[in-house]
Structure 1
Amino acid sequence: MGGAKSMRIQATILGLLLTAAVPASPALAQSHAGHADMVAPATPQLLSGYGGGGLKIDTQVPQAQAFFDNGLQLAAAFAHAAAVEAMKEARRLDPACAMCVWGVAWADGPTINYNKTPEEMKGLLKLAREAQAMAAKGGDPLEKALTDALVVRYTKGGGWGQPGDLAFADAMQKISDQHPDNDQIASFAADAWLQAGSEDEAKMKAAARRSMAAAERVLGRNPTYTPAIHFYIHASEIAGEPAKAEPFANRLGALAPNAQHLVHMPSHTFYWVGRYREAGLVNRQAVEIVYAQAKAMAVPPPAGVFGVPYHLHNVTFGIGGALMAGDAETALWLARPLVTASLSADKALASSQRAAAGAYVALGILADPREILAVPEPRLPMLKGMWHYARGEAFARLGRAADVRREQAAIPAAPEPKRKKDDYDWYGRQTLRIASAVLDGRAAMIEGKPALAAAAFERGSLLQEDADYGYSGDPPAWWSPVRRFEAEARLAGGDLAGAKQSADKALKGRPLDPGSLAVLAAIESRRAAR
């Protein structure tokens, strides 16, 4: 489930537009190009419905305090651009406010999803030093400590797992320990620990557990504090303990009804505890929020909204949950606009193509077969492969084995070497190899050869369970556990023990998978009938 690898993959997906304008480098995709949740208001205004947060600062201007607090709320909801603008307005209202300057530098800094370029870091460091100098002249000890910490972060780099991030997390933890009753400071620490991880899985999980501890300090006394809930969901997922966040995930959306990212966030918990349908539904709610905001900002939906960061993530995560649940209405509502948007694209990062692939799968699995068979071939290479896979699934539903095999043969799924670090193309190639194996199994099932089908599905399962591919991603790159298909094939061949073993393996990766549970129920029914 979510870990260092999936967090990094997610960072390349969020906010990427499926057009020729998408940068060719994953590094660019993690920079300022997509560092916004929504366009900030044309004129400064306090935005409600984004959750809690706030910190008393040294200002005699009430509106500066209000905009500073609102900036904290927006930043914790990952409404990045609006958060920066709120902090800038706080600074404009009180130019002598050190923390208002700190707020601009902090809100515009790296996050768990977006890094900053070296040039951007220079500007942030300049702002942080300005705030530090202002606080040194008359700020209280807390403000001095916060400004010092931000200078350390930006001096040493800063940007997901770099030395500055670890130094910042250490500093924020110390400040929180000195102010144990301050919910906002503890939430700063929880966020900072999330950004202190690295590509090393053990280190990332260790940092996630530190983040969980910081958030738990808050949630134990204030279970509705949305910044802590947000970071707790992320941290518990990375640490492999998503169920711990479930009570808080249940309430988050209602606490921040205008924050599309916070409305989406419970799906990270729901998916990994087996609440797949709800994972789809909360993402649909998040998408509806984006549509409403896009309409207010005169962004033409649906295609235009794919330039809004986090929107693509909401769509693909919602499709992932709905596919697992077999929720055709939600999956197709989310998938159809993405298929339409992707058809006109002729250039996109491999991670964006992989994210969009689920939309084609939804049509192939859940729509009338005639719908996907009428969809023209996309231009993007990975989507071409997944278009063939989706068509193959449609033909399988029609019982046309020869057509399934024709679509399988069109998928570029030749063997590939193990991936290199940051080789995001590899994930797409691996996905296509799985697609080829699954269609091989589908055809064999139609041909009445369940043993051959089980072997094909087992081949796909091993590809899916590869240590470098696994069940990683947000949502996982492959839409379901292939072990489920293997279990179905073994059951069809009368191998009850093998079917149970395969279903059990599927459930380890996807708890409460409906298809695997159905196989187990069928096994028990057959045994009872003997």
Structure 2
Amino acid sequence: MLNEIFRMTAAVGAMALTMGPASAHSLDAVLEELDPATLGEVDFPTTCSTEGQEAFDVGLLLLHHMMYRQSAAAFEAAAEADPDCAMAQWGIAMTKFHPLWPGGPTPEETAAGQAAAARLAGMDPGTAREAAYADAVQAFYAGEELSFRDRLAAWAVKQRDLGAAYPDDLDAAAFDALAQLTVAPMGPEAVPVLRDAGQRMDTLRAKAPRHPGGYHYAIHAYDHPALAEMGLEVARGYESIAPEVPHALHMPSHIFTRLGLWEESAEWNARSAAAVLAQAGDGILADHYPHAIDYAVYAHLQAGNVASAKALLADLAVRSNLEDTFGSAYALSATPARIPLETGDWVGAAALPAELIPAITWARYPQAVAMRWFAKGIGAARSGDDEAARAALAELSGLRDTMDERGMGYWVELTDAQIGTIGAWIALHEGEADEARALMAEAADSEDAVGKAPVTPGHILPARELLGDLLMELGEKDAAVEAYRASMQDSPNRARSLQALEAAGGG
């Protein structure tokens, strides 16, 4: 079954490469790709015309699935059908920022969102409830010189208030949970908040078994090592309401990855990638494609299927028509690094090209570029090329400063841990065992504290696992075993940790 899906992915991909550029997504194109009956169900009455309402409903369904480009096309069709439909402008504005996706909107998305919010401000929403939705999205776009995180927080406050004001509104409840997830802390402190959001989405599904938010936001809520078991049933059930939606086919793998269910993760991401290729009607491959490939490559490597991982990477490498977003940038930087790092090919990791494909505006995404330099740096440090490792450290430090200037706190902390990791292995080669141990332990603690972002199936190479490697180098086998076991608390069934434990006699 799995091999058949991968053959289908390759066949559809070859067909997509031979197609000429097509027009941008229209509602007609979206409906040719996705049957509304396969998107789930919502009940969101507006004061729009009947035709406007029909297009709005499609946009709302796709919005809950985070299929933002197709969703925008549907909302634009609603606005065309009914120029007085304020909620169409609300929908367009909502599709231009992505609350749970790291990186923030592109400049083009920001401009389009601001334009929709400005149009919305001059319209009559029709009802107090619609006005509350309008007020919430306008909070994101209000003000000058605010960071993405500040804008998200402003939107989240309004959206949560809306959920409390309209307790019988299922979409208000869904967006309330999304807002709750958006401002949740990272790492272990997030557990109570995430559990609450997930359980509220479980309640929503009981009331509305085909509402996409009840599935999608529950999976995001349970995407945490302490909660993943609670998300397994909903993960396996998501396709029952959305069997053709690329992101819906990918989302279950967040839970499968947390639980080390590698075959399921690889299979669902293969289906997701194939669906993206089949639906690339405007010639642009949405970032859902490289995102699914990154998760599938990771799953194959953990299952020991290195050849399958390499085949997927080769397919990704020939794509030049990728969406210029952070999701694409991260996968394009990180995925090629996973194979040498997971297989212990340190020389190969050090030799990864510094130049990244020109389809992406890399200056926008320093946190993605940092993944490549970390891979090169740890590869150089572990293969004994300390000069190259120090050069990578210099690149990482510069990227870290850029992130700090942009207020990218999570990625700054993660990059600090990566810098400490490379420094630890350089110190080890220089005979500074105590410094190496301290740097590596600090990096592991820092990385554990911030947790992993949803954009990645796992850290490029877990610092806690690397602490185990370093302790083995120092001959501290018992402490190394403890580190590997601790690493697998957050990343169960990881191949490198399992192999290391077996080698250390702690399996």
Q: TM-score, normalised by structure 1?
A: 0.66
- TM-aligned CA distance change 1:156 to 1:262, over 3 Å: farther
Name the count of aligned residue pairs.
451
Matching of residues 217-236 of structure 1 within 5 Å: 217-236=203-222
Task: Identify if the C-alpha distance between structure 1 residues 486 and 94 changes in structure 2 by more than 3 Å, giving closer, same or farther.
Answer: closer
Give the direction of change, closer, same or farther, for the CA distance of 1:377–1:187 in structure 2 (3 Å limit): closer
After superposition, the Cα gap between the structure-2 partners of 1:410 and 1:97, relative to the gap in structure 1 and judged at 3 Å, is closer
Pick aligned residue for 2:445 from 465, 470, 473? 465
2:301 partner SS: helix
Q: Deviations over 1:2-41 (max 9, x none)?
A: xxxxxxxxxxxxxxxxxxxxxxxxxxxxxxxxxxxx9523
Aligned pairs for 1:212-361 (under 5 A) are 212-237=198-223, 241-294=227-280, 296-299=281-284, 305=285, 308-338=286-316, 352=329, 356-361=333-338
Q: CA deviation at 1:86?
A: 0.9
- CA RMSD in angstroms comes to 4.9
Q: 1:80 aligns with which of 64, 68, 76?
A: 68
Q: Is the 8 A contact 1:193 1:207 kept in 2?
A: yes
Equivalent AA in structure 1 for residue 482 of structure 2: Q
1:410 to 385, 388, 394: 388
Provide closer, same or farther for how the CA distance between residues 485 and 123 of structure 1 changes in structure 2, counting only shifts above 3 A. Answer: closer
Question: Is residue 2:33 matched to residue 1:41?
Answer: no
Q: Which of 284-293 and 232-241 deviates more?
A: 232-241
Match of 2:485 among 504, 508, 512: 504
Shift of 1:249: 1.0
Q: Residue in 2 aligned with 1:193?
A: 180
Partner of 1:25: none
2:109 matches 1:128: no
1:119-159 Cα distance to aligned partner (Å, 9 max, x none): 6565333333344x250xxx4x6445544555566557895
Contact preservation (8 Å) 2:198, 2:221: yes
Which amino acid counterpart does residue 26 of structure 2 have in structure 1? P
Post-superposition Cα deviations, 1:288-333, rounded to whole Å, max 9, x if no partner, equal 2222233x4345xxxxx4xx33433333333333333333244223
State the distance in 1 between where 2:477 and 2:448 align.
Answer: 31
- SS of residue matched to 1:237: coil
Deviation at 1:505, TM superposition (A): 2.0
Q: Larger RCO: Structure 1 or Structure 2 (Cα < 8 Å, ≥ 6 residues apart)?
A: 1
Distance 1:89 1:328, change over 3 A: same
Aligned equivalents of 2:464 and 2:188: distance in 1?
A: 27
Residues 211-230 of structure 1 deviation map (CA, whole Å, 9 limit, x = unaligned): 33542331234455322211
Show CA shifts across 1:52-105 (max 9, x none): 242242568544332111111111112212212212222333345454454444
Structure 2: any 5+ residue segments left out of the alignment?
Answer: 1-22, 357-368
Q: Which moved more, 1:409-418 or 1:167-176?
A: 409-418
Aligned equivalents of 2:77 and 2:166: distance in 1?
Answer: 27
In 2, are the aligned partners of 1:39 and 1:81 still within 8 Å (CA)?
Answer: no
Q: Cα distance 1:92–1:218, how it changes in 2: closer, same or farther (>3 A)?
A: same
- Structure 1: runs of 5 or more not aligned: 1-37, 300-304, 397-403, 445-450
Q: Which has the larger radius of gyration?
A: 1
Contact 2:294 2:457 in 1 (8 A): no
Q: Is the 8 A contact 2:347 2:380 kept in 1?
A: no
SS at match of 2:45: coil
1:410 is paired with a residue whose SS is: helix
Tell me, what secondary structure is at the counterpart of 1:405?
A: coil
- Normalised by the length of structure 2, the TM-score is 0.69
DSSP-derived class of the 1:126 partner: helix
